[in-house]
Amino acid sequence: MTTLPNGCLSAWCWNIAHRVARAIPGNRAIYGGLVLLALLPALAMGKPDLTQKVGPTLADSGSSYYRFERYELGSVDGQRHYRVVLGIPKRAAPTAGYPALYLLDGNAALAALREPWLQQLDAGNPPLLVMIGYATELRFDVAARAYDYTPAVQPGEALLDDQGRAAGGSQVFRQLIEQRIKPLVESRYPLDRNRQGLWGHSFGGLFVLDSLFAAPQGFQHYYAASPSLWWQGGLVLELEKRLPKGAVAQLVLMRGGAEGQRHRDQDSAGARARASLPATALPQMAERLDRLPGLDVQYQEIAGLEHGPMLPASLEQALRLFGRQ
């Protein structure tokens, strides 16, 4: 098990403070401190704010290393509406095409994206970023993601989550990615089909695992952050047994060291569901999967982080790791 002291998000904060200090000699302590203070709310937040708006992003302000394009499309049944933002490296594609990293909760991922991360990617072989979000000004469309990111025992089975929202549509969403989103991206830019990754957090992390177990050929690299293993009483642990023999993939499982601590909503149905599995469920999954000959599995615990801050922290880590492939 790999533990990242103080969390990679904290390291990212220091990196930004250091850059600011270097850029403004004589005011290093002041400006570095201001940057860190500005980021403390994100570090302290226990859960993601599902009502927060996207606000200005790098797609609005511009980047020295990436340019951005936006596309919108609807689900086949017309019930969900997607916004796909492409982050295209300004550097020319390699001969084999760009590696591509697909990011779930694309609105929140775009809002979290930072210029130093893109600079770091540019120093290597920068991937094309495919941020799959929803056509809303909010970072999260809670109803749509509850359906898209959650599996059912049998594909097409009607389910409701603990809030009464339609759920269990992960197979339908996976088909949308494979049959509509991937072809859209490939029609615009050359991609290396042998270097594709998928990242997701929380319900998104659950979808990453479900996709690995149901269709491991879809991607070569999987990044599941704080996955909701508790969904439907640990259904994904049963779906794990359906992983096709001979599957080949790299999987990174990430979790915050402070996740699972007791909160004010500890008596809610959702909290009871989250407490239904032991805290060791994720590292135990990593150990099981790493014993399979075709899988290369890493488990990383980021010290001090709760569930909410794990979204940007795990995204930064996924970009860092994928950029090294």
Residues recognised as catalytic? 202, 259, 307
How far is residue 134 from each of residues 32, 75, 148, 189, measured CA to CA in Å? 35, 11, 11, 22
DSSP 8-state class, residue 264 = T
Q: Which stretch of DSSP H or E encloses residue 274?
A: helix 269-274
Which structure tokens are listed for 145?
């993601």
Closest by Cα among 78, 28, 50 to 143: 50
Closest by Cα among 104, 103, 113, 115 to 55: 113
Output the DSSP codes for 96-116: T-EEEEEESSHHHHHHH--HH
DSSP 8-state class, residue 218 = G
Q: CA 131, 8, 141, 235 torsion: positive or negative?
A: positive
Dist. CA 80–CA 73, nearest whole Å: 9
CB atoms within 10 A of CB 303: 14
Dist. CA 7–CA 268, nearest whole Å: 28
Exposed/middle/buried for 177, CB within 10 Å: 0-12, 13-18, 19+?
buried
Output b/e per residue, 25-52; b: 16+ Cβ within 10 A. Answer: eeeeeebbeebbeebeebbeebebeeee
Spell out the residues 6+ positions from residue 249 whose beta carbon is closer than 8 angstroms to its own.
212, 216, 219, 220, 221, 222, 294, 295, 296
Spell out the residues 6+ positions from residue 55 whose beta carbon is closer than 8 angstroms to its own.
111
Three-state DSSP at 72 gives strand
Residue with tokens 């049944």: 77
